[in-house]
Amino acid sequence: MSDGEVLLAVDDVTAGFGVTTVLHGLSLEVRRGEVAGVFGLNGAGKSVSMKVVAGIVPAWSGVVRFKREDITRLAAEDRVERGMAYVPQGRQVFAALSVEENLRLGAYTLRRRARSRYAAVLDGVFDRFPLLAERRTQTAGTMSGGQQAALAVGRALMAEPELILVDEPSAGLSPMAVQDLFGTLRGVAQSGVTMLLVEQNVAFGLQVVDTVNVLQTGRVVHSGPVRGLDQDELARLLGIGRLLGAGVARSVAGRGRTRRRQPLTANR
């Protein structure tokens, strides 16, 4: 877990659609340099939480702060200007455009504020993702799911973000593609980019994150470092069966020595 400053703070946020409230007082923090994970059952409000942070879904009440600035009412594009980038669920690449054209669109704010940096940033993304460099003229819609996932992450990095929001990155990918994506996301984190990750595949997500936030009915009911988790209690909160729970245990063990009976601390 990072000891850095709080980069993103979500304080008592409510949000939803129409007359349906999805987030019932969401509060969480992401510190500079860490990978913070958000986990929960279907319908817990994971993706809505991410969209509220990104500025796609408005907060009804509460406050979202980024680098200590209140951004609760800022439009999504203004959040990108301030150093935030978003990788949407389902990747949502521009299928009819080439790889390089997708990356160019990701650099919209960069080209507006520092056009001279565009070529260097593009080269940096191609260095990080050799596959994209090899396929720079390929139409994005003809790529595999794993390749599109890499493109979606690369497109977000073109904005040179301080914080990258990644929503359900493993959805629809093969196990091999998921492992490749795991390596990609760890590499991004190790380069110094802070990350907020929403992930349904708990065993995969725990290989990536430093901090675990568990959502239930739109509230964080546990927040803490991945090391030392009480895996049985985590499995209970997430509704994970014994077989999936074994995968969680292996993931946590891979992050360092675990203490199976460290209690979860409620954060309501």
The tally of domains found in the chain comes to 1
CATH number assigned to the domain comprising residue 33: 3.40.50.300
- Helix, strand, coil fractions of the chain, as percent rounded to 5: 40, 25, 35
Ramachandran angles phi, psi of 219, nearest 5°: -130, 150
Range of the domain at 52: 6-254
- In this prediction, residue 266 carries a pLDDT of 44
Residue 268 included in any domain: no
Residue 262 included in any domain: no
Residue 229 included in any domain: yes
- In this prediction, residue 265 carries a pLDDT of 42
Q: How many CB atoms lie within 10 A of CB 43?
A: 12
Angstrom distances, CA of residue 228 to CA of 19, 80, 120, 211: 40, 34, 41, 11
The span from the CA of 21 to the CA of 31, in Å, is 27
Residue 41 included in any domain: yes
Residue 261 included in any domain: no
Q: List average pLDDT for each run of 10 residues in the chain, which is 268 residues long.
A: 82 96 97 94 93 97 98 96 92 94 93 88 94 96 92 94 93 86 87 92 87 94 84 77 56 52 41
- In this prediction, residue 198 carries a pLDDT of 94
Contacts of 208 (CB under 8 A, 6+ apart): 35, 37, 182, 185, 186, 189, 197, 199
Beta strands in 18-160 (DSSP E): 20-31, 35-40, 61-66, 69-70, 84-87
The span from the CA of 12 to the CA of 5, in Å, is 20
Contacts of 160 (CB under 8 A, 6+ apart): 83, 110, 117, 121
Q: Are 212 and 223 in contact (CB under 8 A)?
A: yes
Residue 1 included in any domain: no
Structural tokens at position 232 = 């049985």
Residue 211 included in any domain: yes
Return the DSSP state at 173.
Answer: -
- In this prediction, residue 213 carries a pLDDT of 94
Residue 133 included in any domain: yes
Contacts of 138 (CB under 8 A, 6+ apart): 98, 99
